[in-house]
Structure 1
Amino acid sequence: MASLNPCFKKTFVFFNILFAIFGLVILGLAIVGHLQPYDDQDSHKFTGVIVLVIFGSVTFIVAVLGAYGAHKENKNVLIAFFVLMCAGSIILLRIAIPMAINRDEVMSVTRQELEKLPPLDHTSSDFKKTMDFVQEQIKCCGLFKGYQDWGSNVPDSCNCQSTEVDECQEITTYGYLGEYLKPRMVYTQPCGFIFMEYLDMIFAVTLGLLFGFAALAILGTVMSLAMILRITSPTVSPPAVFSLSPHPPKYSELIQTA
């Protein structure tokens, strides 16, 4: 069995240790998220915690396998690492490639669904709460038509407190009984365009992470395969050295050594 190149082995172990630390960090974030209080309606938060736990655990276990297998030059452990890396590469590419192909279509369908929502004052209470939070944080109002998307009931979260003229506009609204209300200033910028920008940014970051991890998984696959082939290759014995001296051996030396 041939031994591995020390520099190659140390590099492989070092990067696997980094990924093991990364997996522990992800697990730590999952634990912190799990300790945060949330009610039964926040099922998406619980799902996010589960995803972080699975991703962090798998990353840590695979990285430890790779580091241990390379350090001990264990063929079986490296084969297990190689199989997991192949499966990880396929899964990541299976997710990333269709996402990249359908990116524009998803953006278009999302905008069409958002445009179907107005008037927003007739939507569910949960959606109204979400819109109120977004409008207060991002300083916007409505989806794509501004305050008009709210119909006759523009919420207070649209109220503009900015001193910039371009950020605010004056509107006149009426109460539930049709009474005239005092003019108010609301945000000019619609939230829908900001939603689409954030969604496009999320797509870009997600695709970058997926393709980046896929490239690292493929690199790990190639490196582990190279180590497996090196370990399983037979050790080459040094060639025999024959003396080509023209002088015959001395009989006295032969007799003494006999």
Structure 2
Amino acid sequence: MAGVSGCIKYSMFTFNFLFWLCGILILALSIWVRVGSDSQGILNSTNVSSSSHVAADILIAVGAIIMIMGFLGCCGAIKESRCMLLLFFIGLLLILLLQVAAGILGAVFKSESDRIINETLHDNTELLSTTGERAKQFQQAMAEFQKEFKCCGLVNGAADWGNNFQQDPKLCECLDTQRPCTNYNGEQVYEEPCISTIKDLLAKSFIIVIGIAFGLAVIEILGLVFSMVLYCQIGSK
């Protein structure tokens, strides 16, 4: 009876080790998107925050599961355990199917999510010109965001700040001569509103997730092939 191919066995181990590393990468990036994104402070004060948090939490769970699956595949390959390999194959296939379903749903609802984000950011411009605890938190986050990314206001520039601009005219002070500036109430402020910058940051985060998912899918398919070949070889020993 045919024995187990050492090439298949150690290839299976290598790919599962890469799979395990991908799980760590997804987990780390998901945590960064969840708590360390540049636009997180602004989104926390909007209606978009709940949906963005859910997406990040799902990715954190996926990253943890992938780490477990990678460990299971490595052990199954080294120990030549058919049970562990079968569990790995079934789990990996389910993850791949979920990824495909999530990708389809993401493509279908992308335009809708863009519209919701756009409307939410427009609706929250009033927080810049009002008072209150929620408004102050949003204004503080926006002030830090403006300083870092050299923009002003959300949609209409410095005008979004209303009377609050008079209390702190240095909110949008234009200090970078390489950026377009404009005069508002006698002060030189950044001309570009921050809405485009926020959208760009969200788009970059989305591209990162798509890139990781695509690379992960390739590794998953290879893992499925190697695990089934190794499973059949162990059974035929």
* Shorter-chain TM-score range: 0.7 to 0.9
Q: Tell me which residue corresponds to 1:90.
A: 97
Q: Tell me which residue corresponds to 1:121.
A: 129
Using structure 1 for the length normalisation, give the TM-score. 0.70
Contact map agreement 2:22 2:216 (CA 8 A) in 1: no
Gaps of 5+ in 1: 33-40, 173-182, 236-258
Q: Tell me which residue corresponds to 2:39.
A: none
Whether 2:197 is the aligned partner of 1:194: answer yes
- The 3 A distance-change label for structure 1 pair 77 and 2 is farther
How far the C-alpha of 1:48 sits from its partner, in A, is: 10
Q: Tell me which residue corresponds to 1:229.
A: 232
- The 3 A distance-change label for structure 1 pair 84 and 52 is same
Q: How does 1:73-112 map to 2 (within 5 A)?
A: 73-112=80-119
Identity across the alignment (%): 31
Separation in 1, partners of 2:61, 2:123: 36
Q: Which has the higher helix share?
A: 2
Gaps of 5+ in 2: 33-43
Q: How does 1:67-216 map to 2 (within 5 A)?
A: 67-119=74-126, 120-122=128-130, 124-154=135-165, 155=168, 156-164=170-178, 167-172=180-185, 183-216=186-219
Separation in 2, partners of 1:69, 1:225: 11
> Aligned residue pairs: how many?
213
Larger Rg: 1
Q: Tell me which residue corresponds to 1:220.
A: 223
Separation in 2, partners of 1:138, 1:171: 19
Q: Tell me which residue corresponds to 2:36.
A: none
Separation in 1, partners of 2:25, 2:140: 33
Contact map agreement 2:125 2:155 (CA 8 A) in 1: no
Q: After TM superposition, which residue ranges in structure 1, 4 or more long, deviate above 6 angstroms?
A: 25-32, 46-53
How far the C-alpha of 1:202 sits from its partner, in A, is: 1.8
Contact map agreement 2:16 2:223 (CA 8 A) in 1: no
How far the C-alpha of 1:134 sits from its partner, in A, is: 0.6
How far the C-alpha of 1:26 sits from its partner, in A, is: 6.9
C-alpha root-mean-square deviation of aligned residues, in Å? 3.3
Q: Tell me which residue corresponds to 1:176.
A: none
**2:106 partner SS:** helix
The one of the two structures with greater contact order (alpha-carbon pairs below 8 A, sep at least 6) is 2
Q: Paired residue for 1:64, among 71, 79, 86?
A: 71
